[in-house]
Amino acid sequence: MRNLITDIAGIRVGNASDAALGSGSTVIVFDAPVVAAVDVRGGGPGTRETALLDPAQTVEGIDAIVLSGGSAFGLDAASGVQAYMREQGRGFRIGDAVVPIIPGAIMFDLLNGGDKNWGLYPPYRDLGYAAAKNASADFALGNTGAGLGATTATLKGGLGSASAQTRDGITVGAIVVVNAVGTTTVGDGPHFWAAPFEQNGEYGGRGWPSQFTTSDLAIRAKGGPRENTTIALIATDATLSKAQCNRLAVMAQDGFARAIYPVHTPLDGDVVFSAATGAKPLADPYYGLAELGMIAGNVMARAIARGVYEATALPFAGAQPSWRDRFG
């Protein structure tokens, strides 16, 4: 296993970014339409096509999911992905018409020092198309795709991913853009809040501090409504209904709470999508889903820590240091 969301067969990830812009887009492409849902917890979300993910709505399968920088401008990235999917003949068919179904979410990275003077139209449509076109099973973490412009309260954020399996061999994978109001590390030290869930030293193996001080538990947050929101996808090869997918997204949000402090604030737009490829049935619709959701929370926490651990500082004046800049 790669310890990436692409450990799930039928899922590929593409990234496209612009170094001068200080931003980019990440696209998760499904080889066949998948059942999907969404859970929104932050107070300031920016999304596209999330209403149709409600279990009561008609469309049962989606073709891709977009996670993008650029705030509301980044919603254009999904249009680029839609253009790519239309070239492939993918989409929801109504008579002779084919409409690719591409939900997405964006995060705010407009004040990170990059050149955002793009002229009349923002570049995200082209970034979305490029990301979809280069989607593959292998992809980098940290400063890539939508993770390029991501930050946290104290350290550079980035793109993270991780995977795990249930006792029955069902795979769960997460991909996340870590751009939170809060912190992913305890106080001013190197220890990740997600330390108890770490596997094989994937984010430094530092564990937790020997004790927690009052200072460690004090709030550290970005000042003002700027550069916020963590957006993610949790996926599995289990067979799930839209309602079960929604419960998976809800439980995966626990990973945000295990890895980010504070989280789901009025200034975040935290969003978790979920998707199920349907390759393997659950042994039990209740306890099986409970285990799947438990692992989803753990995997999401690990992906968040990996996104920060793998990031590097942007080459702009006043840019945030990376975890490795601070702690080696």
What mean pLDDT is predicted for residues 4-19? 98
Around 254, how many Cα atoms within 13 Å sit in the side-chain half-sphere? Answer: 15
- pLDDT at 225 > cutoff 60: no
Predicted local distance difference test score (pLDDT) of residue 33? 97
Does residue 226 carry a pLDDT above 70?
Answer: no
pLDDT tens column, 146-183? 999 999 999 999 999 999 999 999 999 999 999 999 99
Question: Which residue spans within 148-202 are E strands per DSSP?
Answer: 159-165, 171-177
Q: Can you give the pTM of this predicted structure?
A: 0.96
Q: Which residues pair with 27 in a beta bridge?
A: 14, 66
Task: Indicate whether 34 pLDDT > 60.
Answer: yes
| pLDDT tens for each residue of 109-145 | 998 989 999 999 999 999 999 999 999 999 999 999 9
Interval 208-236 mean pLDDT: 85
Q: Where are the domains of the chain?
A: 5-314
Q: Which of 226, 278, 279, 233 is nearest to 252 (CA)?
A: 233
Mean of per-residue pLDDT scores for the chain? 94
pLDDT recorded at residue 223: 63
User: Quick one: angle between helices 287-309 and 242-259, nearest 10?
Assistant: 40
Q: Specify the higher pLDDT residue, 241 or 318.
A: 241
Confidence of residue 318 (pLDDT cuts 50, 70, 90): confident
The CATH number given to 5-314 is 3.60.70.12
Label residues 218-228 b or e (16+ Cβ within 10 Å = b). eebbbeeeebb
How many other β-carbons are positioned within 10 Å of the β-carbon of residue 210?
6
pLDDT of 235: 98
